[in-house]
Structure 1
Amino acid sequence: MVSVTSWASSEGSRRSMQSNRRRDTQPEVRVRRLLHAAGLRYRVDFAPLGGRRRADIVFTRRQIAVFIDGCYWHGCPEHATLPKRNADYWLPKLKRNIERDRETDASLRAAGWQVLRFWEHEDPDAVSSSIIDSIRNQ
């Protein structure tokens, strides 16, 4: 067996972190299904301004970027939890995620984009309705 040096505090933590998905999470897929059923077409996991910052759902012609943020990774005020292990590593990382979200929002808005952010725990029907309303009211 090859030993791999890792930032993870345990093998279980490492496996858990590797299983986290960047795209196609259940909350995203549920919302996308509803939007597609409503006849809307969009880009998935797309960088509206180029570069590395990607939105979960993007309506390029309408310039609407939708983010469905994970409660842990993006600091949900209702459900975020603090890391139990390796907090010196994780707390600054999680804080930087939130800062990056605000920077991304500001960059997109400055470029004329509408930014819609939702939490993973929000009802997919309500999220998709809000997105559809934003598109119709544009």
Structure 2
Amino acid sequence: MDRWSPEDRSALMARVRNRDTSPELAVRKLAHAQGLRFRVNRRDLPGTPDLVFPRYRLAVFVHGCFWHRHSGCKRATTPKTRQDFWEAKLVRNVERDQQAAAALEGLGWQVMTVWECELKDQASVAQRLLASTRGLPPLSTSVDYG
């Protein structure tokens, strides 16, 4: 049983933002500090990437571990209430992420995913951004969609 009334839960969930989140702002700050210039939330690209580096044809998605099911992450839990609803919703998020990445790659874009938990090591994220924009091989070649 949910400890919140349906009205309170609805108000709480309505406050969850889909842009300008703390992890996204942290990645923007890292990129800007590296001298990289970018556009934010380009709606004309599949999936509306969080950061777009047009010069390098790089699209960056900053994903929350809970909402996008980061595999192996302790933050990727499933709520105990309404499990069928949440499972369907979160699986659909992962499917949508995969479709957006495939569509962008089909258009000739590189796709990079930065997970919320990865921001604990900001130097590593900054290094991945630099490697991706300089044409160097990335530190991690695996793309994990959960």
Q: Pick the TM interval, shorter chain.
A: 0.7 to 0.9
Change (3 A) 1:43 1:56: same
Q: What's the counterpart of residue 133 of structure 1?
A: 131
What is the RMSD computed on CA atoms of the aligned residues?
1.8
Residues 48 and 58, structure 1, Cα contact 8 Å, conserved in 2 = no
Q: Gaps (5+ residues) in structure 1? A: 1-7
Contact 2:34–2:126 (8 Å) recurs in 1: no
Distance, in Å, in 1 between the alignment partners of 2:29 and 2:111 is 20
Letter of the aligned partner of 1:64 in structure 2?
L
Within 1, Cα distance between the matches of 2:52 and 2:68? 19
Once residues 45 and 10 of structure 2 are traced to their aligned partners in structure 1, the CA distance between those partners, rounded to angstroms, is: 32
* TM-score when normalising by structure 1: 0.84
Mark the runs of 5 or more structure 2 residues left unpaired by the alignment.
Answer: 137-146
SS in 1 for 2:56: coil
1:104 aligns to 2:111 (yes or no): no
* Identity across matched positions, percent: 43
Give the distance between the partners of 2:117 and 2:59, measured in 1 at CA.
19
Aligned residue runs from structure 1 range 19-98, under 5 A: 19-47=15-43, 49=45, 53-77=47-71, 78=73, 79-98=75-94
| Count of aligned pairs | 129
The normalised TM-score by structure 2 is 0.80
